[in-house]
Structure 1
């Protein structure tokens, strides 16, 4: 029993970060004026309660898989297999900040190519179909994966930690960023401020519209945090840029939401 002693805490963390992020985004959406939601809603069709329950159920099983992998990482750190450190002085603040950028960029690259692989006809039904049952996803779909996909998603971190020394705080910040971006990307409402959407650098950040079009059309818009892999590899949906410009134009005309 001592071998599994840390598991409840690891599961509580993995499930808790999903639950907290989805609940926060749900609360933000519930607090927004209806006019704001109407302007920024990606699709007219609202998901039914049955879909949300299915998304939640699969997300619980994903958190279970993540916690099992997490327990392996825990013991791997204990035995010196994975390169996680707790003293910032060991590598310095500059390295710590750079390592946060590195893990985000590395995860984005891993996700893009893994995501494309999961959309191969031979793999889609066996691995990725569960996630795409949500054609119009909600924030609760962030971890709505099959067991196979959950394992593929979880494989990034142990592989990364075999190579790159990473501080505990950097890991926590990356995990918080990952789940928040994932939840926002599935929520069906474009929550990114208009001022960001309209900037040149905003073009390189994935938006709710970007990922929603992936669920709508399938074989396009594979990126997680950034759009550059889709740009470089020619997998961005040809209508994404036009639809984003139309959304920005609508928001420009809506004087009551200019601050967004």
Structure 2
């Protein structure tokens, strides 16, 4: 597989990159949407986090912005391919499953560090305007996962380049990064608490933490894990958005009392 990837032309790499990122985005998004809107509520598993409605046209905007991000990620596959062509990086075609497992673990940790650093930069006054389109989704959906400005997509999409320069990874280890990254990112944007019984700091409470990031617009810059937010003291309190939800519920109650639509 490694040799097959290296032997592709630049145009072929970009074409298959678009197919790959478009396919996993639509697949994970549809699975997440179906499970959190239909299956899990019907089974009584989990709960919705933010009760407020979506903005008018939000899904259409998210899909349009996500399409641009798929272009950035897909076409950007030419860069890791280019490192291999230039001989600046190599793939280990003989890696066994133990090595691949260790590499995936290391890349998962690096992915969290890389995400926190770039996400924190995107909240500075110099780069905030590039993060604004993503934060238009105050109440998140799985389709907000790739809803980025192209600059943000380029920043987040370069996650494997530095590791490739430092170590000869297996093709499968590198290919796992967009898969687990999108999977966990989609869960984080699902606006659904899959495991209400676990503590706020638990790995499985990532959707709780990231929904608060969108509701409060700062803090909780980490990805799936919490170690970067703990290290830099950027965690948001678990009840930080409660005043917003309370105001929404009171407004709903007043409308019902006056017989106006919610």
Return the TM-score normalized by structure 2. Answer: 0.81
C-alpha RMSD of the superposition? 2.4
CA distance in 1, matches of 2:123, 2:10: 37
Is the CA contact (8 Å cut-off) linking 1:14 and 1:63 kept in structure 2?
yes
Q: 2:41 aligns with which of 16, 20, 33?
A: 33
- Give the corresponding residue for 1:146: 149
Runs of 5+ in structure 2 lacking a partner? 1-8, 243-262
CA distance in 2, matches of 1:156, 1:194: 31
Q: How far apart are residue 222 of structure 1 and its match?
A: 0.4
Is the CA contact (8 Å cut-off) linking 1:136 and 1:188 kept in structure 2?
yes
Is the CA contact (8 Å cut-off) linking 1:185 and 1:211 kept in structure 2?
yes
Q: 1:204 to 1:35 in 2, by over 3 A?
A: closer
Q: Deviations over 1:46-89 (max 9, x none)?
A: 2146101111111110111111210222232244322323322x
User: Does structure 1 residue 5 correspond to structure 2 residue 12?
Assistant: yes
Paired residue secondary structure (2:76): helix
Runs of 5+ in structure 1 lacking a partner? 244-260
Q: 1:49 to 1:176 in 2, by over 3 A?
A: farther
Number of residues of Structure 1 aligned to a counterpart in Structure 2: 233
Is the CA contact (8 Å cut-off) linking 2:131 and 2:152 kept in structure 1?
yes
Q: How far apart are residue 100 of structure 1 and its match?
A: 0.8
Paired residue secondary structure (2:44): helix
- Give the corresponding residue for 1:178: 181
User: Does structure 1 residue 54 correspond to structure 2 residue 58?
Assistant: no
More helix by share: 1
Q: 1:242 to 1:140 in 2, by over 3 A?
A: closer
CA radius of gyration, larger in? 2
- Give the corresponding residue for 2:92: 85
Paired residue secondary structure (1:237): coil
Q: How far apart are residue 194 of structure 1 and its match?
A: 4.5
- Give the corresponding residue for 1:103: 107
Return the TM-score normalized by structure 1. Answer: 0.81
> Displaced runs of 4+ in structure 1, greater than 6 A?
none
CA distance in 1, matches of 2:98, 2:216: 41
Q: How far apart are residue 23 of structure 1 and its match?
A: 0.9
Q: 1:131 to 1:167 in 2, by over 3 A?
A: same
CA distance in 2, matches of 1:205, 1:31: 19
